[in-house]
A and B are shown apart, each in its own frame.
Chain A
Amino acid sequence: MSKKTIKHILKAAAFITVFCILFLGLQQILVPKYRSDGTLNTSDFFQLEENSIDVLLLGSSQIVCGVDTPRLKQYYGISAFNFCTSGQFPEIEEYYLKEALKTQSPRLVICDVSSVFMPFEKLANKQAMTYFYTTMPFDRYKLESLYNVSNGDPGTVFMYTFPLFLFSSRWKELSTDDLTFYTKYKFYTVNGFLRRDIKTPVTLAFVEEADGEIYELSDRMKDSLNRISEICDENGMELLFLKIPSDEWTRNDSRVLNEFMTENGMEFLDLSDKITEMGLDTEHDFFEPTHLNLYGAAKVSDYLGEIIEENLN
């Protein structure tokens, strides 16, 4: 090989190296660091020691606010983690489950079903996609999920795989926090639980015995739920689909979902039906109509804790 060729190769290598370093560095700086919507849960999950959790919770912010994982540990000895993001729906739960199983072997997986009746287009909106994907590692599961959720749109796959292109315009809003964020703390939440101390009286459709409209589960949603079930079966994990009480959930929603779950041999626990049992107070235990506060979360977690303790032991 001539000196000239070696020189060209070295120059090319230097180009690629510098490009990658700058690209990844800028990406780290420009991608937003969300604080209140559960995106940070994903970052924290990958800091956990391997095979250190017994219970993996997947789903939306209703789980993030509704299941007090530190309480489960403190009072029931259950190591649990809310591996959730705002607006997470079953297809994303499936993706997160696959990612989680790379480093963890939980005995029980709990999946939130609050979004199963929402139209797909509403669930897979741009903002939600940024929450789902921006802090997740680059691997084939991410590409697969992006491809499926975007219905095969290469532009979307590209943008969310390389979020620098998605968030490049944030250069106008950068602060010192963007530069130092990842150097400050190891963990930003405690096992993925978000404490909310505000009390807001709410009215729950389920409690008011409003039957509501009858929605059908879409085929896409059914397939996702089935695949989650298959993954859990393959890995010898228990699976529980869970609904945290929230204002818009009706008895018809519960009934339709319950029918599907029963037909497919899946476990479903609708906590909307256990409000009295849990001692949930609609005046004091919610911080907004769709999310429990820390008092409500404590009650839900106590209820869940007993069930989990009983079933896992």
Chain B
Amino acid sequence: MGIVSFWFIVLTAVTVILYDLPYFRRYGRYILLAASLIFYISFSPAGLLVLIPDALAAWAVGIRVQKLKDSQNADNYEAVQKVKLRYTLGNAALNILLLFLFNYCGGMAAFVNEKLGTGLWTAVGLFVTVGISYFSLKLVSYTADVYGGVIEAEKDPLNVILYAVFFLSIMQGPFDRYGKLMPQITDAKKRKLTYSSVKAAVIRIMYGYIKKMCIADQIGLIATHVFTRYEEYHGLAILTGIAAFAVRLYADFSGYMDIVCGIGQLMGIEIAENFRQPFFSRNMTEFWGRWHITLGAWLKDYVFYPLQRTGLFTKWSKAISRKTKNKLLRKAPAFTAEFIVWLLIGLWHGSGFNYIFGVGILQFIYIFTGTLLKPFSDKLRAFLHIGGKSVFLRIVQGMKCTLLMCFAWVFFNSASFENALAMFCNIFNDAFSAEQFTEIFTNNGYYPFIDVTDPLKVIGNWNVWLMYILVCIFVMFIVDILHERGQSVVEAVMRRPYPIRLAFYMLLIFSLIVFGSYGGTYNASDFIYYRF
């Protein structure tokens, strides 16, 4: 039951209606729990054997830590603090172990077996636990927040289970914090639902589906085609494939977020935003504050800052501060902590080195280099008399961030690190020509050894299709510009007379029907971040 499926729409509609009916107001969390369990079971019923015990363990740890906290006084403060920390770290270790077992163990064992000829267990026969990359980290954040006094421990275990399995964030996030999400569900008075918010929510959901089905899935055909057959392409073709993947990833992921946030809005629940016009970033640090926001925030709050507060890092900071006045060297502990965070982000995406490098180490290199070069770039701007608010500068900065991420995403989307490198080599092993671009569409070859027709055949008249894609990218860009300027397209439309609003609704509906990718050729449930 993917999010782009008839049964998901039925499940959501029923859930929203029941949840919003005043009569069922006090059963809201049970309705959401039932819907979440149904949604989860449709993917991975066996996964509940991991999720529910894991959630119960986190709940139990939270209760224990809360009891310890309540018994803390000036006399036993340190001792109790240590015990609390042990419980919290124990829960974190449990979740890391589960993540390792279900996500990484098999791949790593297969790698070791291949290189060293060993016979390690490659997790064959182990059932799939969908969403473990998300619920495990959410449960760690729950116990960490109880430990840190951010929230009180939850007395009702069902609430913790709901938090872990919540159907709007189990598949692709966001990493909502317990203290922000659950009070909206458990306390009916906290729900913010109005007629206007419902209309805005429906439009947002539709926009999300349009981004997913009309843009991501369409342009994804090119991206997948070029990435899987990169040996046959050169120059402009590869660059086109890379650009297509960047658009696809953004439209796919942000489209999903629009859908889940919109559904949350329909129930008066504010889901954490995960995107904020990332391609308008001035630098890579800002980019990661605008892209997959909640993952970065999670690692910052639960890895980066705690690491910096450890005895080791504290002593190191003090030692360096004593020994040198060099600003950069004094930041060494912070950079080290940041490197560890990026390593973890890369690892979270996958155990392959292409992930660890592409969305891990490379990002750290970008940010570190950016910090290093900042004084020089400031001087250069001053020399060229380019003000900080210059539109030209914003465009250049945005393009720079986009290009850097496109480069990184080649590793993210390639089957391996070596494949990514080979792909880059293919860009330059032939002189650039326009035919390299058109070849993607006209080279209707076949997949050797695989008895399927070329998916690109669904594109048909590629000239028209290409114009359509360019229009879509332009529209997404304009919408993002408006959002960046604090303007809401939805609010602007809602203020117009009904005929204009009606035309807008019809445009959304029929864009989805006519341009949406569905039917036998497409796998509409194939969101990119489902695989994590």
Contact = CB atoms under 8 A, between A and B. Distances in A.
Contact of A171 (B6, B509, B514): B514
Contacts of B519: 159, 165-166, 169
Given A11-B498, A19-B506, A155-B6, A169 B513 contact: no
Contacts of A14: 498, 502
A15 B502 contact: yes
B460 A22 contact: no
B196 interface: no
Contacts of A155: 6
A168 B516 contact: yes
A164 interface: yes
A19 B512 CA distance: 13
Interface in B506-521: 506, 509-510, 513-520
Interface string A137-175: 000000000000000000100010000111011111100
B513 A164 contact: yes
A30 B514 contact: yes
Contacts of B468: 172
State the main secondary structure of chain A at its contact with B: helix
A164 B519 CA distance: 12
A72 to B, nearest CB: 41
28 contacts: A14-B502, A15-B505, A18-B506, A22-B506, A22-B510, A23-B513, A26-B513, A30-B514, A126-B520, A159-B519, A164-B513, A164-B514, A165-B518, A168-B513, A168-B514, A168-B515, A169-B458, A169-B460, A169-B519, A171-B464, A172-B460, A172-B461, A172-B462, A172-B464, A172-B468, A173-B460, A173-B461, A173-B464
Contacts of B510: 22-23, 26
Given A22-B510, A126-B520, A155-B6, A171 B515 contact: yes
Nearest to A162: B513
Interface in A81-131: 126
B108 interface: no
Contacts of B462: 172
Nearest to B458: A169
A30 B519 CA distance: 15
A11 B6 CA distance: 27
Nearest to B517: A169
Given A22-B510, A164-B513, A169-B517, 12 more contacts: A11-B502, A126-B520, A165-B513, A168-B516, A170-B460, A171-B514, A172-B459, A172-B461, A172-B464, A172-B465, A172-B468, A173-B460
B505 to A, nearest CB: 7
Contacts of A171: 464, 514-515
Contact of A26 (B514, B516, B520): B514
B433 to A, nearest CB: 25
B10 to A, nearest CB: 11
Nearest to B516: A168
Contacts of B509: 19
Nearest to B503: A18
Contacts of A170: 460
A22 B514 CA distance: 11
Task: Report, nearest first, the 4 A-B pairs whose CB atoms are least far apart.
Answer: A172-B461, A172-B460, A172-B464, A168-B514
Interface string A23-36: 10010001000000
B176 to A, nearest CB: 33
A126 B519 CA distance: 11
A19 B506 CA distance: 7
